[in-house]
Amino acid sequence: MTDGPQVPTPPAAADRWARRRRVLIPALIALTSLLGSVGAWRAAAAAGAAASAERKAFADTVAAEQQRAAIETVVGSIEITYARRAALWEAAAALRGRAAGATGETAAQLTALAEAYEATAAQAAIDADALASDGSLDLEAKRQVEWARAANAQDLDPGPEVAEAESLRVKSERLVGLTAALIAAALFLTLAQVTRRPRAAILFWNGGLAVLAVSAVLLVVVEAL
C-alpha cells in the first residue's frame, strides 16, 4: 500500500546551472568567433598599414639620399668656383705687382692681363647663401639652405613613417595573439559543452569565460591605442 502519488524531486541547483550553461555556451562560442574574426581583420589591416608606412619610409630615404647627392654636387661646384676665383684674384694681384715694377709696353701688357684676370674673377659669381658675413666660404650654411628648400618641397624625413610602421607591427602582433587567445577560449567552451565530467566542465567553463573576457577587453584596448 502506498501513501499517494510520487512527487518528482526538484532538480538540484547544480543540474539547473549545468543546463543553463549548456544553453549559454553556444552563444559565447559565437561571440568568441565574432571577436576572433574582428581581431584577425584588424591585425591584417594593421599589418597592411605597416607595410605601406615602410614603403613610404623607404621612398623618403631614397629621396633624402638623392637630395644629399644633389646638394653635394652644388656645393662642390661652388667650392671649385670659389677656389678658381681666388686664384684669379691672386694672379691678378701678382701681375699688378710686376706691372708696378715694369715700364713701357711690358707694364701695359701685365696690367692688361691683370685686368683680364680680374674681369674673369668678377664673372665667377658665388651664391650668397654660401658666403659668410665676412665674405669667406660657408658651405655648411649652403647645405642647410638647400636642404630646407628641398624639405619644403617633399618629405625627406623617414623617421615618422618608421615609427608608425613599428607601432603598427606591434599592434598587428598583439591582435594576432589576442585572436589566438580567443580561439583558445572557444576551445575551452567547446570542451565544457561536450565533456561528461561535471568538474571538468566547470573548469573548462571558467577558463573559457576568463580568457574570453580578458581577450575582449584587451582587444578594445589594443585597437584604441
At 99 the pLDDT is 81
pLDDT tens-place string over residues 35-53: 999 999 999 999 999 999 9
pLDDT tens-place string over residues 52-61: 999 999 999 9
Question: Is residue 11 pLDDT above 90, yes or no?
Answer: no
Helices (H), 101-197: 104-123, 139-153, 159-194
Give the chain's mean pLDDT. Answer: 87
State how far the Cα of 161 lies from the Cα of 140, in Å rounded to an integer: 27
- Mean per-residue pLDDT, 166-173: 94
Q: Which DSSP state fits 128? A: G
Q: Which DSSP state fits 11? A: P
Output the nine-digit C-alpha cell for 90.
Answer: 691672386
Q: What is the pTM of this model?
A: 0.69
- Nearest C-alpha neighbor of 42 from the set 139, 137, 179, 183: 179
Question: Is residue 10 pLDDT above 70, yes or no?
Answer: no
Q: Alpha carbon of 28 to those of 24, 33, 132, 196, 219: distances in Å?
A: 6, 9, 74, 19, 16
At 40 the pLDDT is 94
State how far the Cα of 147 lies from the Cα of 73, in Å rounded to an integer: 13
- Nearest C-alpha neighbor of 114 from the set 85, 89, 92: 92
CB atoms within 10 A of CB 171: 20
At 1 the pLDDT is 43
At 19 the pLDDT is 79
Question: Is residue 104 pLDDT above 90, yes or no?
Answer: no
Terminal Cα distance for the chain, rounded = 76
Q: How would residue 135 be classed by pLDDT, with cut points 50, 70 and 90?
A: confident
Q: How would residue 211 be classed by pLDDT, with cut points 50, 70 and 90?
A: very high
At 9 the pLDDT is 45
